[in-house]
Amino acid sequence: DGTSPRRRRVRSHTLREEPSSLARSSRPASPRSASGATMAATAMGGASVVGAPKFVAAGSRRTVRGASALRGATRPAAARRSIATVTRAQAGQTAEGDRIVDVSQIVVPEDLIGIRAYVRWEEAGMPEDTPPEWQAAEYAKARLDLQLEVLNGVTLNDIRRRYNQETVDGDDEPIFSRGDADVMLDDAAGKFTGATSNVVPMETRPTPLDDFAPTIEIPGGGEKQKVAIEPEEWIEPPPEQVGEYHSDAYAHRDLRSIVSHRVGGDEVAAPKYSAKTFMSRWASFDSPNTLVNQRLYTLGNDSEMLVQMYQDVVEDESASSGPRKRVVSRSVVITTDSQDDLVLHWGVAKDEPGQWLLPETTVWPGKTTAVSDMSVETPFVSGQGCLPAEAFDKDEVEPGEEDLCYPIQQLTIELPDDGADELMGLQFVIRNKEGTSWFRDEKNGNSNFHANYATTQHSKAADELLETIIRSEAGNGWWTLMHRFNLASTMLEQKCAPGASEKSIAKAVAAAAKIYVWLRYSSNRKLTWQRNYNVKPRELSAAQSKLTKTIAKLFCDAPHLRDVTRLMLGTVGKGGEGGQGQQIRDEILNIMHRNDIKEKKGIWMEEWHQKLHNNTTPDDIIICEAYLAFLKSNMDISEYWRVLSEGGIDRARLESYERPILAEPTPRPTKKVALIKDFQNYLKILKSVHSGADLIECIKTANKGLGGVSPALNYARVAQNGGGDAIQLLAACVDARHELRGAGLANPSDQEWTRELLYLDLSLDDVARRAVERSGEANYGLEDQMRLAGLVMENLALSLPTSNEDIVLALIEWRRVEEARRGGDSQWALRAKAVVDRVRLAVALHADDVAAKMQPAATEIGVACGIEHWAVDLFAEEVIRGGPAFALSLVLSRLDPLLRAEADMGAWQIISPVPAVGYVKHVHSLREVMNETFTRPTVLVAGKVGGDEEIPAGAVAVLTTCSVDVLSHSAVRARNMGCLFATCYDEAVLDSLAALDGEPVSASVMGGDEVVWDEVDASAVAVGAGAGDVSSVPKGLKLAKISFCGKFSVPLQEFKKGVVGAKAINTLALNESLGGGKIPAWINLPKSMVIPFGTMEHVLDDAVNAGVKAELASLVAAIDDSSETALERSLAACRACVKRIIAPAGMLDEIEAAIVAAGIPAPEDEDRWAKAWSALTDVWASKWNDRAFVSLRNVGIDHDDLRMSVLVQPVVDADYAFVIHTVNPSSKDQTELYAEVVMGLGEALVGNYPGRALSFSVKKTSGETPRILGFPSKSVMLKIPRQTLIFRSDSNGEDLEGYAGAGLYESVPMDEEETIHADYATDPLVWDEGFRTELLSKIAEAGVAIEAALDGQPQDIEGVVKDGEIYVVQTRPQV
């Protein structure tokens, strides 16, 4: 409107802080200068040494102080000049008047020699504890370096200037004439090699190197004579002594302090937005529910643009099938603070994201004009944007101001809803009014801007993040590492910003996982590093620095992302603000000039120099290491190719660079030592940019902040490449990683310091992994193996700062097990085996989580970008194999057989002991073949068994390495079907059977605790035990058709057959037995009522559910069981349909009255009743779960005849839950009871959660102490922290004569259970023998009493323990 802005905008990028002079210094003072001082002093003999040579940052220039002269001030000027004056005046005579005839007689000031000696020590890598003879040799070589320079015409002042020393009058002229120099070089040809004790002549031998040997031409009276200069030999500095590392921190550390706290809900507060630009405040201040996405872009150098996408969604009450919500409006709002008048050049997308279509005029804003057959242009509308004062910092708001305004431009484009005219979004670019400047997405390969919605007309919702990645990577435009890193930084800032809601956290975790996949592909060279674009090293270095700082900031601000951001940082070099990157470019040229290597086309080093100049990449580290190997092996070219190959570089890759490397390195024998020193230093420069996790470099960087190098960190440094004990090295790494937590990683806040600590932590993690690999070669005893396992667990816990709780709790219990072993506990091995099983399960769950989060993105990116299929298919597996979880798995595999031997367990757990003859089939999981019907007897070797699967028809055996509860659904069904079922704890044993895939075998149980097998002829299968041959399931089972009884609820006293299920009938029997004194009064029974058979079918007949009924009938008729995937999809649709059933009028009132009459607390309000109805319909819907459908089909039961009654009871907030089989199911011993117990609610047991429960057996009549068969290894327990109800399935398809249908259908609590990691280290049931014996005896006594009360029929009993009281919640006949 022409008015002035009320306040100038505040921009973060205008508040630049000048770098300190120290930061600009090219070489900081060395913390190890004392070693240099020792070297110089030893070598100089009688020379005066007043201090160590060291570099001191002074302002912005480096000042070098020598060993015997501080800036040349300790000697009079005349004395400082005397050497040069004498030698020049007397034309090559010594101070005594003799003619100089040998290079070694040239006198160079000792302060310059001391400086050169220090520089050589730095170039050699600053080795520590070097022997005196090495120091003396280095000092002599430093003297020779300068003598040769002087002889070749370099003035003393030239040398002083190089080292930032004050010059001396008269020392700017060369000392020797060319003729004098040639004479002395003639003499030097045979003598200079012996001038220093560490320069060893190479043996004379025929070698291709002779062709490259340099010579000195000696002028004479006739033809010039050539004398070869003998090359130098490199002497590797002696390795440091490793020594030993002993620490007691392992046993005394507070492990609970490293437990990560799960995030969600209000546990993570959104941090205050710290951006200082008006547009970023505009973006962050107001976010209505209709805002589905927003993104902030830069426009040119001083403006920003915010793109916001809005969508209004409403419930569609008229929809009887399909989506229940519909989009009624969409709009894209584009806002910018640019001061130039701007125009939007845009088109719309309908069928695919990158489409440009001419928009219909109905969506054109005012003043829009068509400019082509696919695009239009619309000018932005100018105005003012105002924000309330609270959007700004206090110091930016004047007292009394209510809002602050700034000139902005804005444009709103209204898009159609999700009907026939639905659009995916729009694509656009921006230009100024004159058309002289155009703006595109600079951070995304200069591509078009876009605002795309995921549309409902596509079968798969578009993934904007992956779409952006693929569009950038799979295109043919220019693209480099720099662009990739800049785009990754932007994406992390946009998609992973910390938020408080569980939804936002889940989205951030998913986005971060995808970005990690992308960066890992990049670091593994699966994506191009350069395409049609040259990047200066300093630009790449700056992009890396920005990305790594963004990652470190997320690590600080978003605890839920710490696992993945830590991984992410390992894929990117540290980079720098430009200086480090520029060093890559400059130093290679300096090396070439120092060593007189010409910039000549076709020479290897010049080709590499050109590549470095235009596009340096992490490959350059490998190339540099390969060249060093070539030099150190006396120019053996095979060493060059070996190192390249080990680093993943072949000739084709070298030739593929935009500036290709076609030649091989040129042998330069006389330059070898100098080149080795130069390139060892150059390798450090390359690593500082491209490789953040180099242990030595990380220690140097973090040393000051850590207050020095601790013994643990120093031991890891010295022992990382070999030597020393693997366990001691691992202990040092773990101790050092805890020190890093104390230094800031436990509660990170400073992103710069956090980044340095994380890189150091990653390098220590890598050393720890290599220590584990080395430990496999050691012959450790059991005690050392257990300590090793504990250390590797602890190392893994430190590597999972977001999700380590399960591992940490297992580790705490492991510490107790170690103490128990030392204390003589007879059950220590059984305890240890349980912890090992739990940890193995945790590693497996971690691997599954990695696969679930990363493999889909890896597949999508990999396929779109043409990555090799093996790298795509194995992506998630390789992530695990390269990390500490796999290292732990290796250690446990070595430890497990030792523990089993100590516990006298053997390699097998027999669950269903029957013989089997069939064809071996190796499968990934039992679930994937559950729906199959094998046409011939099949012995299944299954990689995964959860315990809740149905045994497939035709299977005669299921053998797995997974720990499965003896009372799990799969175990019960296997025994019911006469199927051999066993767990093998030795993977190698089962692998040998899996190797017989497709071959016929005969398997049986030998000695009651071992499965053995033999290969047999195919004819033996026909006469052997086939599927179901020993099954107790009768053929031709039919279910009686049951009608609705006429009411929605049945009280306890009216429970009867045909109206309620067997659980309810047995509940009535138990109550009558309790009242009649047949069972002890201390056994508690919960209050109960039932929603009877036929209720669901009756409710579907109500007019209010007519649409649902018709849809369900259609879905049931269309069930496709041709494959497991098709079956799951079909049944899921049926369950979703059942969930839409509506309660008829009066139904819930009747149920509420029955609940109250039964003495059960009823739901308190409408929200609670909604939860109750949801739980009830979940039970009804479980009629169509895949396990139940397959089971009924396999025994010939008509699924349509199944009816579901529902037993309603209050939930007992249990301390423990148990299941009893009053006849031991494994041994069939009628006199022995078997039971399993878990912490918390029973769903962890009957719901077949992974891991094993505490199991015991006891004779029914002897009164003996229960015998522990196994301690618990389940990782979780379940709790519901409030009063609630449970709706138990009670169908007519369970508890049939001879058919074990128990567990086929769901029992659902009204409130969702809280999953808590089990802490067995403090559980009295595990560690208090008296408590355990008393409780287990009481559980066993309850089982015996109930069996007796029910006419001696074996029972399958479920119950809980609360405050020492026993509650039996249901019982059924044991099948």
CA distances to 276, 337, 381 from 407, rounded to whole Å, are 16, 7, 11
Which secondary structure element, helix H or strand E, spans residue 1066, and what is its range? helix 1062-1075
Cβ atoms of 1084 and 1070 within 8 Å: the answer is: no
Give the CA-trace dihedral at 463, 465, 468, 473, to 10 degrees: -110
Residues 118-128, buried b or exposed e (16+ Cβ, 10 A)? bbbbbbbebbe
Find the length of the chain.
1375
Could you tell me if 1266 and 1329 are in contact, meaning their C-beta atoms sit under 8 angstroms apart?
Answer: no
Residues 161, 82: Cα–Cα separation, whole Å: 19
**Rounded distance between C-alpha atoms, residue 792 and residue 895, angstroms:** 12
Which residue is it, tokens 């109905």? 362
Cβ count near 1097 (within 10 Å) = 15
**In this structure, is the dihedral angle defined by the CA atoms of residues 199, 201, 206 and 211, taken in order, positive or negative?**
positive
Phi first, then psi, for residue 783 (nearest 5°) are -65, -45
- What is the rounded CA–CA span in Å between residue 406 and residue 385? 5
Of 210, 218, 212, residue with least CA distance to 188: 218
Q: How far is CA 1275 from CA 229, 806, 1323, 1328, in A?
A: 72, 7, 13, 20
Contact yes or no for 333/411 (Cβ under 8 A): yes
Per-residue three-class SS string for 505-524: HHHHHHHHHHHHHHHHHHHC
From residue 24, give the alpha-carbon distance in Å to each of 548, 580, 995: 21, 11, 63
Contact partners, residue 708, CB within 8 Å, separation at least 6: none
Q: Give SS3 for 310.
A: strand
H-helix or E-strand spanning residue 629: helix 619-632
CA nearest 425: which of 582, 541, 310, 320?
A: 310
CB atoms within 10 A of CB 1058: 12
Q: Are strands 933-944 and 953-960 parallel, antiparallel or unpaired?
A: parallel
In eight-state DSSP terms, residue 1000 is E
- CA 857 – CA 622 distance, rounded (Å): 29
The residues pairing with 1006 across neighbouring beta strands, listed in sequence order, are 1010
Q: What is the rounded distance in angstroms from the CA atom of residue 1329 to the CA atom of residue 1323?
A: 11
Map residue 329 onto helix, strand or coil: strand
Residues 1333, 1319: Cα–Cα separation, whole Å: 20
Q: Which token pair is 515?
A: 């970005």
Do the Cβ atoms of 1192 and 1293 come closer than 8 Å?
Answer: yes
What is the rounded CA–CA span in Å between residue 53 and residue 19? 27
What residues are labeled active site? 969
**919 three-state secondary structure:** strand
Q: Quick one: 965 exposed, middle or buried, by C-beta within 10 A (0-12, 13-18, 19+)? A: buried
Q: Which two tokens stand for residue 88?
A: 């020049």
The contacts of residue 599 (CB under 8 Å, 6+ apart) are 589, 592, 606, 609
The answer to whether the CB of 1318 falls within 8 A of the CB of 1351 is no
